[in-house]
């Protein structure tokens, strides 16, 4: 796409790029087991996930059944062959087809690691893709480095001679394979390094959705201390990526017996500059102190052992916490979502070295820093503390407060990724009618209150206080019974009198009251809490439709998910009576489809993130599991082999649209309730 916007009403239903490789590459699992050992058939397996450009997946059950791809489905091929006693076996990629694949025994997806196990030729091999997405350390979280480790041992009592070969295609460095690339050997005293990048290096020259990076450099590196490590690659280019040689590393393991031997390497991408924000090109966050790629690789190599232990402990602790809060199936859903959420955005640094996070609307319209994208994404960030959450709020709020934004409500976005130079949603003639005024204003007040609650103070909110007051006044005037406008589910079109949107406005006012209370503005806090509670009392009467609540105030016989209600309990507002959630949940459990609860009565499609919010409303485990279990069934049975979608049909299990988006971080909503553990634990 070029970045040109379509009519916002049709933004997410017609503007989506066509994602290639839609047909299943591997066999689907027919049914989902319903026990504690529930197996998740991952539609696409996360391998190397860092940002919207450096995002490589396997769209098959077996790593040798398909070539690996970018999240858009375009080939971004990684391959690996292991030679055992002189015979070659494929363990990654489906080429060369004449080489026998080693039998894959298992696959496990954890928050920071994807682990495959293979066996054959008298050996067992454990292959791990480790991306240290450790949220307590943004410096490490932002590093574009994934480690591949090979752990091998003999199973037949004999010693076997083993050589590992790993390769990456230079197509990873360009948008289309006809673009020219250059390559080189960059080895130093400690590492064998190979490198490739586009010849043109047109940094931040284009924006859009279905595009891939064509600037910066891809690196493969392995420590010489492992023994025999080499590459046959010499300097070369320019040549079209489709004709260029692969980047390759070869690691000799020597004779391996029953004692496990490990060898490892790194795949990294230095994009030089990541984001253009208000016409300034920003460095990736890891480069904020003047680092170059050589510093990144050297430090990443020196910290491998430490990071391996940290990732193992992090995965174990997080999975335990998730299972306690929502069960084993829920934990596996969150593990599958975790890296996808972070990889749909980029951490950059401003002039002061502050971390700024810019999420991208993958497979919808390519917008950057969209409020109604980081709102559903926010639970994963909030769970791990206020510092992480502030990273996506600061650039948005600074833009809104800059004077460039003229409306009395919150913006929708900051541009089209990776150019965050001002809102593009609504086209050149932006009006209130073609935007999401109640939606975005409610989002921002709620999120600012959530950060304040985590911080135990409103200092961050105070930086933007006049703006927040203006948005609260807007919701007071127009939030209870929204006019004919869009909400975050804008693919469904405009809707007047939206009951769920009204909930957001009411809780946005309650959130503002909470902020006022924290700041010591008692009178203003009492005023806005009184308004919110009076609106909620009206809402309960005017939205009532017998055994449930309506989709719109003027549409009896309709219904919708009231996912925005979650903040009432999470923020401790106590605005809506608990029986409202109870009545809604009883209705949801009666009407949901095989693969989940539809978004509302208009269509059979749903949003995966919103179901996981709705599932938390009563904080009853049986209700939660009743709504979560069909999602896992969908994941196991969907015919679409792509990164996890958040928009699918609850009857057929087919993806409607949306791939690899950060909103999937919304599955962490259950973890935000006060009785669940914080991400700091």
Least confident of 129-143, 307-321, 418-432: 418-432
What value does the mean pLDDT take over residues 346-363? Answer: 97
Q: What pLDDT is recorded for position 38?
A: 79
What value does the mean pLDDT take over residues 38-50? Answer: 95
Q: What pLDDT is recorded for position 18?
A: 45
- Asked if 330 and 323 touch (Cβ cutoff 8 Å), the reply is yes
Instruction: Return the domain boundaries, the chain.
Output: 31-284, 315-672
Euclidean distance between the first and the last CA atom of the chain, given in angstroms as a whole number? 43
E-strand ranges in 217-354 read 217-223, 228-230, 236-240, 247-256, 261-270, 275-277, 280-284, 345-349
What value does the mean pLDDT take over residues 105-116? Answer: 98
Contacts for 47 with CB less than 8 Å, ≥ 6 apart: 56, 57, 58, 68, 78, 114, 129, 146
Given a cut of 90, whether residue 17 has pLDDT beyond it is no
Neighbour count for residue 225 (Cβ, 10 Å): 9
Neighbour count for residue 409 (Cβ, 10 Å): 24
Q: What pLDDT is recorded for position 433?
A: 72
φ/ψ bin of 385: left (φ > 0), alpha (ψ from -120 to 50), beta (otherwise)? left
C-alpha–C-alpha distance, residues 171 and 161, integer Å: 32
Q: What pLDDT is recorded for position 678?
A: 56
CATH class of the domain comprising 31-284: mainly beta
Given a cut of 70, whether residue 35 has pLDDT beyond it is no
In 3D space, the residue among 68, 12, 76 whose CA is nearest the CA of residue 658 turns out to be: 12
Q: What pLDDT is recorded for position 431?
A: 74
Q: Which residue has the higher pLDDT, 237 or 21?
A: 237
Cα angle, residue 312 at apex, residues 310 and 314 outer, rounded to 5°: 65
Confidence of residue 677 (pLDDT cuts 50, 70, 90): low
The CATH number, out of the four listed (1.50.10.10, 3.40.50.300, 1.10.1060.10, 3.40.50.280), of the domain defined by the range 315-672: 1.50.10.10
Confidence of residue 32 (pLDDT cuts 50, 70, 90): very low
Q: What pLDDT is recorded for position 428?
A: 65
Neighbour count for residue 208 (Cβ, 10 Å): 17
Write out pLDDT tens, residues 495-549.
999 999 999 999 999 999 999 999 999 999 999 999 999 999 999 999 999 999 9
Rounded-to-10 torsion of CA 643, 649, 654, 655? -40
Q: Over the range 251-273, which residues count as b (16 or more CB within 10 Å of their CB) and which as e?
A: bebeebeeeebebbbbbbbbbbb
- pTM, two decimals, is 0.94
Contacts for 186 with CB less than 8 Å, ≥ 6 apart: 193, 194, 195, 219, 294
Confidence of residue 37 (pLDDT cuts 50, 70, 90): low
What value does the mean pLDDT take over residues 318-347? Answer: 98
Dihedral sign computed on CA atoms, order 649, 650, 654, 659: positive
What value does the mean pLDDT take over residues 471-496? Answer: 94
Given a cut of 80, whether residue 464 has pLDDT beyond it is yes
Helix (H, G, I), strand (E, B) or coil at 191: strand
Cα angle, residue 268 at apex, residues 115 and 236 outer, rounded to 5°: 125
- Asked if 368 and 403 touch (Cβ cutoff 8 Å), the reply is no
Write out pLDDT tens, residues 155-191.
999 999 999 999 999 999 999 999 999 999 999 999 9
Contacts for 292 with CB less than 8 Å, ≥ 6 apart: 270
Q: Which residue has the higher pLDDT, 490 or 626?
A: 626
C-alpha–C-alpha distance, residues 494 and 150, integer Å: 52
Write out pLDDT tens, residues 632-668.
999 999 999 999 999 999 999 999 999 999 999 999 9
Confidence of residue 631 (pLDDT cuts 50, 70, 90): very high
Write out pLDDT tens, residues 274-321.
999 999 999 999 999 999 999 999 999 999 999 999 999 999 999 999
- Asked if 528 and 516 touch (Cβ cutoff 8 Å), the reply is yes
Neighbour count for residue 326 (Cβ, 10 Å): 25
Cα angle, residue 595 at apex, residues 594 and 596 outer, rounded to 5°: 100
Q: What pLDDT is recorded for position 23?
A: 35
Dihedral sign computed on CA atoms, order 565, 570, 573, 577: positive
Least confident of 33-37, 219-223, 237-241, 567-571: 33-37
Given a cut of 60, whether residue 8 has pLDDT beyond it is no
């Amino acid at each position: 796409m070029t970045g040109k916007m379509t009519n916002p009403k049709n933004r997410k239903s017609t503007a989506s790029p066509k994602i290639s490789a839609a047909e299943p590459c591997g066999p689907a699992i027919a049914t989902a087991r319903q026990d504690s050992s529930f197996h998740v058939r991952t539609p696409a397996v996360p391998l190397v996930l860092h940002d919207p450009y450096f995002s490589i997946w396997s769209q098959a059950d077996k790593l040798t059944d398909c070539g690996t791809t970018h999240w858009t489905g375009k080939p971004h091929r990684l391959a690996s062959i292991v030679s055992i006693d002189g015979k070659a076996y494929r363990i990654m990629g489906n080429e060369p087809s004449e080489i026998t694949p080693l039998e894959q025994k298992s696959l496990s997806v954890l928050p920071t690691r994807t682990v495959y196990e293979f066996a054959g030729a008298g050996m067992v091999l454990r292959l791990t893709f480790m991306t240290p997405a450790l949220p307590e350390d943004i410096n490490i979280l932002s590093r574009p480095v994934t480690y591949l480790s090979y752990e091998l041992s003999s199973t037949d009592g004999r010693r076997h001679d083993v050589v590992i070969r790993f390769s990456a295609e230079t197509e990873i460095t360009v948008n289309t394979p006809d673009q020219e690339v250059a390559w080189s050997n960059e080895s130093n005293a400690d590492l064998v390094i190979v490198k490739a990048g586009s010849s043109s290096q047109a940094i931040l020259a284009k924006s859009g959705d279905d595009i891939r990076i064509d600037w910066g450099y891809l690196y493969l590196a392995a420590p010489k201390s492992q023994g025999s490590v080499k590459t046959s690659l010499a300097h070369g280019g320019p040549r079209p990526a489709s004709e260029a040689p692969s980047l390759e590393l070869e690691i000799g393991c020597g004779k391996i017996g029953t004692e496990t031997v490990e060898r490892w390497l790194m795949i990294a991408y230095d994009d030089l500059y990541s984001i253009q924000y208000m016409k300034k090109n920003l460095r990736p966050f890891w480069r904020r102190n003047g680092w170059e790629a050589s510093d990144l690789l050297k430090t990443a190599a020196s910290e491998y052992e430490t990071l391996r232990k940290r990732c193992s402990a992090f995965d174990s602790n997080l999975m335990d916490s998730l299972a306690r809060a929502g069960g084993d199936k829920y934990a596996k859903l969150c593990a599958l979502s975790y890296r996808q959420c972070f990889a749909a955005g980029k951490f950059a640094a401003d002039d002061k070295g502050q971390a700024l996070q810019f999420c991208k609307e993958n497979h919808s319209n390519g917008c950057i820093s969209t409020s109604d994208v980081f709102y559903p994404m926010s639970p994963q960030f909030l769970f791990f503390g206020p510092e992480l959450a502030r990273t996506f709020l600061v650039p948005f709020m600074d833009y809104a407060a800059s004077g460039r934004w003229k409306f009395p409500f919150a913006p929708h976005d900051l541009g089209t990724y990776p150019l965050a130079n001002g809102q593009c949603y609504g086209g050149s003639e932006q009006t209130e009618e073609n935007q999401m005024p109640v939606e975005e204003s409610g989002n921002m007040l709620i999120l600012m209150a959530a950060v304040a609650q985590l911080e135990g103070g409103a200092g961050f909110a105070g930086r933007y206080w006049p703006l927040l007051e203006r948005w609260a006044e807007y919701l007071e005037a127009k939030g209870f019974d929204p006019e004919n406008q869009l909400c975050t589910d804008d693919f469904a079109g405009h809707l007047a009198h939206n009951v769920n949107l009204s909930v957001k406005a009411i809780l946005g006012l309650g959130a503002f009251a909470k902020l006022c209370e924290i700041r010591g503005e008692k009178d203003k806090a009492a005023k806005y809490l009184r308004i919110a509670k009076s609106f909620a009392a009206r809402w309960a009467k005017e939205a009532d439709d017998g055994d449930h609540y309506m989709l719109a105030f003027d549409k009896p016989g309709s219904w919708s998910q009231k996912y925005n209600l979650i903040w009432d309990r999470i923020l401790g507002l106590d605005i809506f009576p608990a029986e409202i959630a109870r009545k809604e949940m009883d209705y949801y459990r009666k009407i949901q489809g095989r693969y989940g609860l539809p978004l509302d009565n208009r269509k059979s499609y749903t949003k995966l993130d919103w179901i996981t919010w709705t599932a938390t409303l009563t904080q009853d485990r049986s209700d939660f599991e009743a709504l979560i279990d069909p999602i896992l069934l969908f994941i196991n049975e969907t015919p679409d082999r792509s990164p996890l979608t958040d928009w699918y049909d609850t009857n057929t299990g087919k993806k409607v649209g949306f791939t690899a988006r950060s909103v999937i971080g919304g599955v962490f909503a259950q973890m935000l309730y006060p009785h669940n553990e914080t991400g700091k634990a």
